[in-house]
Structure 1
Amino acid sequence: MRSRTAAATAAAASAALALTTLASSPAQADNPNNSKKMTRAVTVDNVHDHLEAFQEIADANDGNRGAGTSGYEASAQYVEKTLRDAGYTTERQYFDFIYEETHAASLDEISPEARSVEHVPMSYSQPTPAGGVTAELVAPSNPLGCTADAYAGVDVAGKIAVVSRGECAFGDKAAAADAAGAAAVIVYNNAPGALNGTLGGVNPDSAPATGVTQEEGQTILDKMSAGPVTMKLVIDKTLEERETFNVLAETDTGRDDNVVMLGAHLDGVHDGAGINDNGSGSAGILETAVQLGKVNKLNNKVRFAWWGAEELGLIGSDHYVADLQANDPAALDDIATYLNFDMIGSPNHIIGVYDADESTYEAPVEVPAGSAATEKVFTDYFDKGNQAWVDTEFSGRSDYSAFIAAGVPASGLFTGADGVKTPEEVEKFGGEAGVIYDPNYHTPADDITNINMDALDIMSDAIAHATITLAQSTKDINGKSSRGKSGKPAPTVLPEGVDAA
């Protein structure tokens, strides 16, 4: 059943969509059926036109395109109309998710010293009551605070608990603090660096929770040992169940038992337009789909996905794969490889390829067979064009995570997020050493001015090349290269629970 916000969201998005100008241009090629023709057809100007449309949508929808908002709905409508104009049938796959938006958050020491304290509220934390929680700090007898018993003999009722990271999940610490009577809990790190924690899900019976550094935790404990310490914690947020969706489309022709799949997350963070992250990947595969629709015949079906709620934990792609595993595992087996594109226009960019062959980085996940061959499609293309590139860790940090966990080969492209550019990378790509790849990552400044056109051009051509190459043959990945037995268009293979848009 649709959430109560869905109708209003869709209506607002429809109105906003009217403000956008659909990207269009004369056909670059009548039948772009090889790499040279396809890379010529997928122009950076057309890709940038899609990004300008996403920016207009964000501007008309409270400045963002986050999952569960009218900005996301309008972004999806833009993608769907562009695809339908190119001859595709689009599908929506709906799913529920927890919408979480922090409106204000602060942690202040009231006494013995008045100061503001840097902290990061835990994901899925309960909000504080209106006005926040102002209370004395207290430490459990067991500093880890994993169970209510850890507070035995401690007067914690109505106070703010201070506990160490370690031994148990953050969600357990927040639940234990609540069970002991605490009004909130501060978790300090047990190693250097900021503590960006998650409670793992919504639990109404847990105390509002935030994280601080190991250094700050020690400062707080030292003050507590000298006398009472009072702090005020404010976590003002929306935390509710909403509905969103993935947008899916695929070519009419090609083997439906040897599908090449491309994906990019369509949602951004709720703190800006999300044009590089990830309007860029979304625009890159959208223009590739438009041009691929002009090809007369494909050996392999190509499926495109614009994922929802990636920024909230890869939820859309996880749902898609889980749905196939539960309802149509054969269709999951029919995916020859998955290509992921998350940020392809970073201003201080690298030209990164997911290191599926582990030639630079040992993967923290099991790498499915065929992934190294998928990576090679990109690296061979760059090598042939004398384009410098580097490996980027095959970490499962983006929407390919669920696919590789299910044994589907994967690779993809990445121009960098919050990593710091090295002098060696400056020699290859230009830019500034010691500065992160996208200084506007997950900020309101990730807007249309944030895009590096050179990076966008290089990566868009690489997407185009890989798509048409694998649409004609995946022999190097799985030994399959020929068309299906019938020359007729294969039936659409999509998960259960999808509606025609």
Structure 2
Amino acid sequence: MKSFLSLISLSTLAASSAIQHPLHDVSDPQAPISTKALVSSRALQDHITAENLLKRAKHLYEIAKLGTEQYGHPTRVIGSGGHIGTLEYIYETLSEFSDYYYISNQTFSAVVGDVFESRLNLGDKSPASARPMSLTPPTKNRDVVYGPLVLVANQGCDASDYPSSTSGSIALILRGVCSFGAKSEAAGKAGAIAAVVYNNWPGSLSGTLEKPSKYHVATFGISNEDAQPYLKDLKDGKTIHSSAYIDSVVEDVATVNIVAQTKGGDQDNCVMLGGHSDSVGEGPGINDDGTGTLTLLEIASHLVNYDVQNCVRFAWWAGEEEGLLGSDYYVSQLSEEENLKIRLFMDYDMLASPNYAYQVYDARNAINPVGSQELRDLYTDFYTSHGLNYTYIPFDGRSDYDAFIKNGIPGGGIATGAEGIKTPKEVEMFGGVAGDWYDPCYHQLCDDVSNVALDAWEVNAKLVSHSVAAYAISFDGFPKRTSIKNNAVGEDYLYHGPKLIV
């Protein structure tokens, strides 16, 4: 079998192309009459086992090792061998079912970066929470730079916030109002040799500078707690001699969305679901979002045994960790006609966090495209019918559903938690450890095969199967789509490329 990248050369990948969904005449008299049974929720769920999911997770981790040569550890970040291997795995698995699915790809370019080494010393200490920003440039000559720490006024978004002493110094900037990239650029224009952004609420801080600027300087994030002693000393007029070092590279890479759509079913009424195929550069991403990627792949592999009445469209997005790039690009390329064929979009990201809670996006029709609440209720009804607790989480644009709801497509999804803190009440509901992150290995090297709760993953994979089957059978009672107008709250969410908060 030809591999994905032998079919699509890297030079071809560098040029963006829109997916063209072929028309399929299900009434074609030449088409063979199917003898398959109509899909049912129970039948599709019965294919899902923790054993098979774990087997796929182990294979994905081996693929992530292909990123080791470049990054020094397993990763599936876009542009890495691990992500290219992930795309090949998805494509080769789907190609076995080319008689059942239309398989298409959509290429686009994205900016990625790699930080090889970094150190930050403020005074005689190195803040424990210090992390280099994604897409940060290196320090000058990839060497250590020295200068006093200077406190920037307000949030460092305007040139007037930077005192004259910023030149030749390391700028200390409060998070908020403008993007991290804007802060780094303003610091660079003011002559800073590096920048440190500190959090405006408890906890550590990491993020991206997004599109490179010639004015960007090497930029770190630190926690609010770590910043407090320095803020006090600077306000008291003390001098804090500091140093910064980042060895990094920022570059453009080509990457790919993969989409598989059933040839059967009503092609004008599609249920769509997606997960992102990439990880962060810091680790292999087996929970985030290997669990979503593999759940979709497992279900797609079993759906072929059944007929559907509405088309089912699976998507594996690239560049989610760089700011929802793949899903944003996909939706931006849809014509109004193609947009209206998507009756709803379901997002599946992080389905097996070790310290999990069963989380449902609180998608309400009043502030989102009509139909989002009906999807939300499908999830909660499933948990309730199985005697399981659930909790609502904000539908705030943090994952790949955002472009869909902003373009009039009902959306929703489930998750099991990322860096949030589990409460004592949630321990009563789900078990686990109060005060710990839902995923203690979120965006870290330890997000490997040992970092998945198989019991939660199996439950959620069955729920994903149920969501697919329910809408593949019928949209009866589900609101019809008549417009691509956006009913979502008109807020500029933080999680896209220009303002990504990871």
Q: Which residue of 1 aligns with 2:275?
A: 264
Counterpart CA distance in 2 for 1:448 and 1:172 is: 37
Alpha-carbon distance, 1:116 to partner: 4.9
Contact 1:32 1:41 in 2 (8 A): no
Does structure 1 residue 47 correspond to structure 2 residue 58?
no
**Is the 8 Å Cα contact of residues 355 and 392 (structure 1) preserved in structure 2?**
yes
The aligned runs of 1:463-478 (5 Å cut-off) are 463-478=464-479
What is the Cα deviation at residue 222 of structure 1? 4.5
Change (3 A) 1:178 1:468: same
Distance 2:423 2:160 in 1: 48
The CA distance in 2 between the partners of 1:167 and 1:458, in whole Å, is 40
Residue in structure 2 matched with residue 343 of structure 1 by the alignment: 350
Change (3 A) 1:155 1:449: closer
The 1:370–1:145 alpha-carbon spacing in structure 2 relative to 1, beyond 3 Å, is closer
2:461 corresponds to which residue?
460
* Aligned-partner residue type, residue 308 of structure 1: A
**Aligned partners of 2:227, 2:439: CA distance in 1, in Å?**
30
Structure 1 residues 379-418: aligned runs within 5 Å: 379-418=380-419
Cα distance 1:414–1:114, how it changes in 2: closer, same or farther (>3 A)? closer
TM-aligned CA deviation for residue 463 of structure 1: 1.0
The partner residue of 1:94 within 107, 111, 123 is 107
* Alignment map for 1:305-320 (pairs within 5 Å): 305-320=315-330
The corresponding residue for 2:139 is 128
Q: Cα gap change, 1:58/1:86 in structure 2, threshold over 3 Å: closer, same or farther?
A: same
1:277 pairs with 2:288: yes
Q: In 2, Cα distance between the equivalents of 1:427 and 1:117?
A: 32
Q: Structure 1 residues 420 and 5 mapped into 2: Cα distance closer, same or farther (>3 Å)?
A: farther
Please show how residues 229-248 of structure 1 align to structure 2 within 5 Å.
229-248=240-259
Aligned-partner residue type, residue 339 of structure 1: M
C-alpha distance in 2 between matches for 1:435 and 1:156 = 38
Farther-moved stretch of structure 1 (54-63 vs 406-415): 54-63
How far apart are 1:453 and its partner, in Å? 1.4
Cα distance, 1:332 vs structure 2: 0.9
How far apart are 1:145 and its partner, in Å? 4.4
Q: Distance in 1 between matches of 2:55 and 2:152?
A: 60
Q: Secondary structure at the match of 2:112?
A: strand
Which of residues 188, 202, 209 in structure 2 aligns to 1:199? 209
Instruction: Please state whether the residue corresponding to 1:250 is helix, strand or coil.
Output: strand
Structure 1 position 382, deviation (Å): 2.5
Farther-moved stretch of structure 1 (86-95 vs 341-350): 86-95
- Pick closer, same or farther for the CA change 1:151–1:421 going to 2, 3 Å: closer
Which range is displaced more, 249-258 or 188-197? 188-197
1:183 to 2:190 alignment: no
CA distance, structure 1, for counterparts of residue 263 and residue 10 of structure 2 = 35
Question: Is 1:300 aligned to residue 296 of structure 2?
Answer: no
Amino acid in structure 2 at the alignment position of 1:46: N
Give the TM-score normalised by the residue count of structure 2: 0.81
Cα distance change, pair 89–160 in 1 and its aligned pair in 2 (3 A): same
**CA contact 1:135–1:230 (8 Å) conserved in 2:** yes
Cα displacement (A) at 1:379: 2.1
Does the CA contact (< 8 Å) of 1:276 and 1:344 recur in 2? yes
- Report the Cα distance in structure 2 between the residues aligned to 1:92 and 1:190, rounded to whole angstroms: 40
Change (3 A) 1:270 1:122: closer
Structure 1 residue aligned with 2:484: none
| Whole-angstrom CA distance in 2 between matches of 1:122 and 1:310 | 16
Paired residue type of 2:322: L
**TM-score scaled by length of structure 1:** 0.81
- Encode CA deviations 1:190-225: one digit per residue, 9 max, x unaligned: 555444354342111222222334454453355455
Secondary structure of the 1:477 match is: coil
Does the CA-based 8 Å contact 1:108-1:233 persist in structure 2? yes
Deviations 1:114-152 (A, max 9, x none): 555642333433221245343222547856544445556
Instruction: Measure the CA separation in 2 of the matches of 1:419 and 1:288.
Output: 29
Secondary structure of the equivalent of 2:405?
A: helix
Instruction: Give the match's secondary structure for 2:392.
Output: strand
Change (3 A) 1:252 1:142: closer
Are 1:106 and 2:112 matched, yes or no? no
Helix, strand or coil for the counterpart of 2:67?
coil
> Kindly tell me: are residues 221 and 214 of structure 1, through their superposed partners in 2, closer, same or farther at Cα, counting changes over 3 Å?
same
* Distance of aligned partners of 1:137 and 1:354 in 2 relative to their CA distance in 1, 3 Å threshold: same
- Of the structure 1 ranges 335-344 and 208-217, higher mean CA displacement relative to structure 2 is found in 208-217
Deviation larger for 89-98 or 373-382: 373-382
Distance 2:273 2:431 in 1: 29
> Which residue matches 1:321?
331
Counterpart of 1:426? Answer: 427
* 1:353 aligned counterpart, secondary structure: strand
Between the two proteins, the alignment pairs up a number of residues equal to 446
The Cα shift of 1:395 comes to 2.0
Q: Structure 2 vs 1, CA of residues 373 and 135 (structure 1 numbering), >3 Å: closer, same or farther? A: same
Change (3 A) 1:53 1:300: same
Inter-partner Cα distance in structure 1 for 2:252 and 2:241: 34
The answer for the alignment partner of 2:65 in structure 1 is 59
Check whether the contact 1:341–1:412 (CA below 8 A) recurs between aligned residues.
yes
State the percentage of identical aligned residues. Answer: 35
Task: Write the deviation string for residues 136-184 of structure 1: whole angstroms up to 9, x where unpaired.
Answer: 22547856544445556x3544332334445654433322332232222
8 A contact 2:256–2:318 mirrored in 1: yes
* Displacement after TM superposition at 1:97 (Å): 0.5
Aligned residue for 2:493?
none
CA contact 1:382–1:389 (8 Å) conserved in 2: yes
Give 2:340's aligned amino acid.
D
AA matched with 2:400: D
2:153, 2:229 → 1: CA distance? 18
